[in-house]
Amino acid sequence: MSDLETTREILGSLISHPTVSSESNLDLMWVMADRLDRAGARVEVMKDASGAKANLFATIGPDEPGGLMLSGHSDVVPVEDQPWSADPFAMWEDDARLFGRGTCDMKGFIAACIAMAPTFASRQLTRPIHFAFTHDEEIGCLGAQTLAHILRDREVRPGLAIVGEPTSMRIIEGHKGCCEYRVTFTGREGHGSRPDLGVNASEYATRYVTRLLELREALKHRAPPGSRFEPPWTTINIGRMAGGHAPNIICGHAEVEWEMRPVQQTDADFVKRSIRDYVGDILLPEMQAGFPEALISTEVLGEVAGLEPMDQNAARYLVSELTGANGADLVAFGTEAGLFQEIGMDVVVCGPGSIEQAHKPDEFIEIGQLASCLDMLHGLADRFTAHG
């Protein structure tokens, strides 16, 4: 069986496991762990605190620092209320395309990596090749955050990483981060005719949002020189505001949900410090002057680092040589790549399939894209093989 045929067979198996983020991914992880173990990899399955989710980390080659990590997430987005032509968890083929939930985002890349494991194991590798398959990327890169912390503390960890999100095999060297927050305001309710006797949570939520909008304008002047992002500066978006029951009741509870997409970590630090100082120095003291039990609490829904373009990036050089691609691009969507960059790896995003098909009904990957990915992985095997 050819590597492409093996990849198709593995992909069909992966698709048959409906690893929507709300469900366990353990069955799929054990399937992948068994394949990698039988290929000769040293395999770890790392369960989360709930015991219902896991990351998988495996290595083929010498037990030494460095080498390259092939990274992908095991979870997929829901299919409810989407008009699929067939069962989204039973892969089908049509017109040189493979259809099913997760085919391009991103089980196609994972299948190609697993299919290549026996080839990697058959070589006398001079550097290790690692496999890192995570849980819950779609809801905040939860698994990758845990894995990054584990790898950071190890003496033996990868030096380079390819995150195989669907880029049509283009090399991506940068994307913005994504930070999401829910802020809750607790005031004191009362009759609308005596606003002086209450503490209106909606009013303080409105002032909070006004400060965020001021910071959003300030960020436009902090764009790095020559920034290639679109737009070139860090953005803030107010996604949701809620509060109150009726026009004649002082609002006692309000919520604001907002996001920030930083182009650089210094921008994220600037915004968080500025809004924290505004809450601590102005808003909360005013609220508590009228009602000592008043509160403003912030819940971090997710903080995922961006992938910052670097002048020197060994992963970019390697993948350029393996694929023959000239140059590297930036993308608007987020990935786990920045988390691995934060712990010292050189990282690029490059994988089969198009992001245009991700999250949509009748998601598909072109078989030719899988073939191109396998060509890259064969080149990696050759590059890491001892000769002579």
Catalytic residue ranges:
75, 137
Residues pairing with 237 in the sheet? 259
DSSP lists the bridge partners of residue 242 as: 255
Helix axes 265-278, 201-219, angle to 10 degrees: 150
**DSSP class of residue 188?**
B
Cα torsion 51, 53, 59, 65: sign: negative
Are residues 98 and 367 in contact, defined by beta-carbon separation less than 8 angstroms? Answer: yes
Helix and strand counts by DSSP (H, E) for the chain = 10, 17
Residue 246 phi/psi, 5-degree rounding, is: -160, 160
Structure tokens at 126: 């001079």
CA 290, CA 288: separation in Å to the nearest integer? 5
Starting at the edge strand found earlier in the chain, the sheet holding 329-331 runs 42-47, 54-60, 129-134, 68-73, 160-163, 346-349, 172-175, 329-331
**Long-range contacts, 83-89 (Cβ 8 Å, 24+):** 83/361, 84/361, 84/362, 85/361, 85/362, 88/361, 88/363, 89/15, 89/16, 89/17, 89/18
**Element containing residue 26 per DSSP (H, E):** helix 26-39
